[in-house]
Structure 1
């Protein structure tokens, strides 16, 4: 784990699909027995998300090994992303296109090293949308994952259950250029 981490951007799923699926299976290994976390369900979501406008992925490599990933796409004000929330999304976030971070994960040996933040920031660095949004299971990591996103500037703006099989998630948002110039 001494190899430097390099980030690679992708705008075509065909170039990244197998690495994303393999990384997902590694990152989510302890959850794969749950219906919404199965690898085939992830692959279906990935394929669906990748044809949506503004799809992009960033994969982190240490030497030849893949160690982390994130992907996102653009959501419009009338997107079902916002429509499934239990209360209307605040207009400050949902009135214009936003970048929705759909997945982010880092292999266990690489956690706690800033890799997730580097991937996340690289993913947002080229985006033109004013705001970023993501959904997180408040129970993930006994709440550590949501607290991590809060440290990155995200705030809970609502609650959503994307599908009957999924857990209830917190929808979080922040400006894309959070903290620049501060």
Structure 2
């Protein structure tokens, strides 16, 4: 795995859908038996997200093989992203539309190489929203995933249970341009 990683932007779900589903199945392989993680449930979410305003994806490729992905879209202040929160959202995050990073993942052989961070940063590089937000299962990787996002400048701003089959997630946010604010 010495091939260089290239990043490809997508603004149309049609062009990226199959790669995103295949990557998701690989990245989440150990969770696919759980109701909220099934591939068909992900595909439904992906189709819904892909039709929302500001949808964009970045997929990482090595030797023309997809190895990681992230996608996001714009969430206005009244979006269900915010209204499902179990705790009040600090007003500064909902004063204007935000970019919601809906999914990010890297296949196992490519983890720990900075690929996820490169994909994430590339995804945010062209965004005009003031804040980025994401949701993470605080137990994922025994808390390692949430700590990783904290290292990228995200801070927990509340918790949410997106669906009855979903675990309670930590909602994290950061400035798009200055990750320390």
TM-score normalised by length of structure 1: 0.97
CA distance in 2, matches of 1:113, 1:68: 11
Shift of 1:41: 0.3
The aligned residue for residue 138 of structure 1 is 138
**Inter-CA distance 40–121: structure 2 relative to 1 (3 Å threshold):** same
Separation in 2, partners of 1:174, 1:68: 22
SS state at 1:163 partner: coil
Whole-angstrom distance in 1 between the partners of 2:86 and 2:23 = 31
Q: Which structure 1 segments of 5+ residues have no match?
A: none
The secondary structure found in structure 1 opposite 2:129 is coil
Tell me the distance in 1 between the aligned counterparts of 2:166 and 2:21. 19
Task: Count the aligned residue pairs.
Answer: 180
The equivalent residue for 1:155 is 155
Q: Which of structure 1's runs of 4+ aligned residues deviate more than 6 A?
A: none
Deviation string, structure 1 residues 108-156 (Cα, Å, up to 9, x no partner) = 0000000000000000000000000000000001100000000000000
- Greater mean alpha carbon deviation, residues 90-99 or residues 121-130: 90-99
- How far did 1:95 drift? 1.3
1:77-98 deviation line (CA, Å, top 9, x unaligned) = 0111011111221111111100
SS at match of 1:33: coil
| Cα offset, 1:179, TM superposition | 4.5
Q: Give the alignment's Cα RMSD to 1 decimal.
A: 0.9
Tell me, what secondary structure is at the counterpart of 2:171?
Answer: strand
Equivalence for 1:83: 83
TM-score by length of 2: 0.98
Counterpart of 1:127? 127
Deviations 1:15-50 (A, max 9, x none): 000000000000000000000000000000000000
